[in-house]
Amino acid sequence: MSTLTVPAQVPSVTEDCEQLRKAFEGWGTNEQLIISILAHRNAAQRKLIRQTYADTYGEDLLKSLDKELTNDFERVVMLWTLDPAERDAFLANEATKRWTSSNQVLMEIACTRSSKQLLEARQAYHARFKKSLEEDVGYHTNGDFRKLLLPLVTAYRYEGDEVNITLAKSEAKILHEKISNKAYNDEDLIRILATRSKAQINATLNQYKNVYGNDIDQDLEADPKDEYLDLLRATVQCLGTDEGALTRVVTTRAEVDLKVIKDEYQRRNSVPLDRAVVKDTSGDYEKMLLALLGHGDA
């Protein structure tokens, strides 16, 4: 859930731009003023501010920020002001230039964005860096890291909910076999993680747990010093978070067997499903889910 707070009465865009301009004037910079404005506007508002600022003062707001701010603060404000696709492109580009810990950034962008968002990031990358994301990732990574990252950043996953259980079972078997043999860079293992839809991968990970007893992350903990293994485990964790699952399962099973699912959930996690829903959701969404779960009176 979002944490951004925007004032009830938002000043006009022109006012915001004037104030920002004032913040840059003179000897120092009025950081507090910048924070008070930019940190309390949503993406659409920030975009409008950026456009109007450019129209009014003939300069990209980001350039002003770059000139006037320093280091961490500048970075936060700058990243916040970019639109999401540009932000991802910027972070990805930065990651290709640095050393090992930045593989994580590339993987995160590739795995946690929707197919459309990842694509937009690739388009923004073309526009800004005059190269493709994949050519930079390919060039700046090697060995097992490249084997895993290239397919991840070039994926355009199907986004539907359809799941083939037979396929999930057979691919869970493949994953288990490769992991048992410590073949962590195996082509098939990477193929499954890099090309299947997220819904399908989740089904596969569930089958994995059902059949082999462990969560796949546990089986990927063999060697704490192995950085590639680390990355692989993080990949699985990122892909395995299925936000739509709660809505999907509750709405499609409420009239079928949700009671059975609730019982099973409690058995597995030692916590009632209702309590987990209350903890993780809020507002009308929470109320609706609880109602469908049979909570309270009709």
Which residues would be at the binding site for another protein (CB under 8 A)?
A: 119, 122-123, 126, 130-135, 137-139, 142, 146-147, 150-151, 154-160, 162, 187, 191, 194-197
* Nearer to another protein (CB atom), residue 45 or residue 185: 185
Give the nearest distance from C-beta 146 to another protein in angstroms. 7
DSSP codes joined into one string, 160-180? -----HHHHHHHHHHHHHHHH
Give the nearest distance from C-beta 285 to another protein in angstroms. 27
Give the nearest distance from C-beta 251 to another protein in angstroms. 20
* Nearer to another protein (CB atom), residue 64 or residue 96: 96
Give Cβ neighbours of residue 84 (< 8 Å, ≥ 6 apart). 43, 117, 120, 121
In whole angstroms, what is the distance from residue 43 CA to residue 230 CA?
A: 33
Which of 113, 111, 116, 42 has the alpha carbon at shortest distance from 80?
42
In whole angstroms, what is the distance from residue 24 CA to residue 5 CA?
A: 24
* Nearer to another protein (CB atom), residue 138 or residue 272: 138
Give the nearest distance from C-beta 227 to another protein in angstroms. 19
Give the nearest distance from C-beta 208 to another protein in angstroms. 18
In whole angstroms, what is the distance from residue 90 CA to residue 118 CA?
A: 13
Give the nearest distance from C-beta 184 to another protein in angstroms. 17
In whole angstroms, what is the distance from residue 260 CA to residue 138 CA?
A: 48
84, 76 contact by CB (below 8 A): no
Give the nearest distance from C-beta 177 to another protein in angstroms. 16
* Nearer to another protein (CB atom), residue 41 or residue 122: 122
* Nearer to another protein (CB atom), residue 63 or residue 131: 131
* Nearer to another protein (CB atom), residue 102 or residue 197: 197
DSSP code, position 123: H
Give the nearest distance from C-beta 235 to another protein in angstroms. 16
Q: Is the dihedral of CA 88, 91, 129, 228 positive or negative?
A: negative
- By CB atoms closer than 10 A (0-12, 13-18, 19+), residue 103 is buried
* Nearer to another protein (CB atom), residue 41 or residue 157: 157
**Residue 83 corresponds to which amino acid?**
D
Q: Is the dihedral of CA 123, 128, 131, 133 positive or negative?
A: negative
* Nearer to another protein (CB atom), residue 59 or residue 135: 135
264, 273 contact by CB (below 8 A): no
